[in-house]
Structure 1
Amino acid sequence: MPSMVVIATTAVPDHLRGALTRWTSEVLPGIFVGSVSARVRDELWSAVTETVTDGAALLIHPAPTEQGYALRTAGTRRRIPVDFEGLTLIRMAGPPKAKKLQSEF
């Protein structure tokens, strides 16, 4: 049975965006919404994770949890989903640390 999915992408290749529009509607740049079966959802997510490279992606789909949905993430991101006693919370990662310059004296 089809269920609603939301896929949010940032800095992904155009061909991935094109592939996602075959099954979903791009309602805003990088935000895809559709109603697909679990099999199609998993195949789409597989394509996203293989292609995301330096970008970021998030999949939200219905699940039998307290919140009623599950999150999946791929790629580089500052927001990291963390399970907290059955609830999915979002942890913000700090900015990347700058490399220290070493002098050669």
Structure 2
Amino acid sequence: MPSMTVLATTAVPDHVRGALTRWMTEPMPGLYVGTLSARVRDELWSVVHASIGTGAAVLIHPEANEQGFALHTAGERRRIPIDFDGITLIAFRPEEDQEMAKGV
């Protein structure tokens, strides 16, 4: 059964943006919204995840859990989702960890 899906991207390659706009609407740059089946959603996420490069992406879709949604991330981000007893919380990675990852 198709369900509302939201995907936000930052600095992804043009071919990924093109693939996303075939299935979803882009109401503002980097934000994609659509009603997708689980199969199409998973295939699009596979393409985004494999092609993310130096960019970043977040996928949110309905899920049968306490929060009512699932959250997936790809790429380097300061905010990291953490599972806390079945609930997804967002933690901030310390800035010095980011600098170490970048080799600064």
Specify the alignment match of 1:36 in structure 2. Answer: 36
Give the distance between the partners of 2:82 and 2:19, measured in 1 at CA.
29
Within 2, Cα distance between the matches of 1:92 and 1:12? Answer: 22
Identity %, equivalent residues: 62
Alignment of 1:71 onto 2:71:
yes
Question: 2:5 corresponds to which residue?
Answer: 5
Q: Please state which structure has a larger fraction of its residues in helix.
A: 2
TM-score in terms of structure 2 length:
0.91
Q: Deviation per CA, 1:18-77: give whole Å up to 9, x if none.
A: 110000000111000000100000000000011111100000000011110000111111
The alignment's TM-score, normalised by the length of structure 1, stands at: 0.90
| Corresponding position: 1:26 with 2:47 | no
Corresponding position: 1:47 with 2:47: yes
Structure 2 unmatched ranges of 5 or more: none
Alignment match, 1:97? 99
RMSD over aligned CA atoms reads 1.4
- Give the Cα–Cα distance (whole angstroms) in 2 for the partners of residues 3 and 73 of structure 1: 19
Per-residue deviation at 1:97?
Answer: 3.3
Number of residue pairs matched by the alignment: 100
Code of the residue aligned with 1:47 in structure 2: it is: V
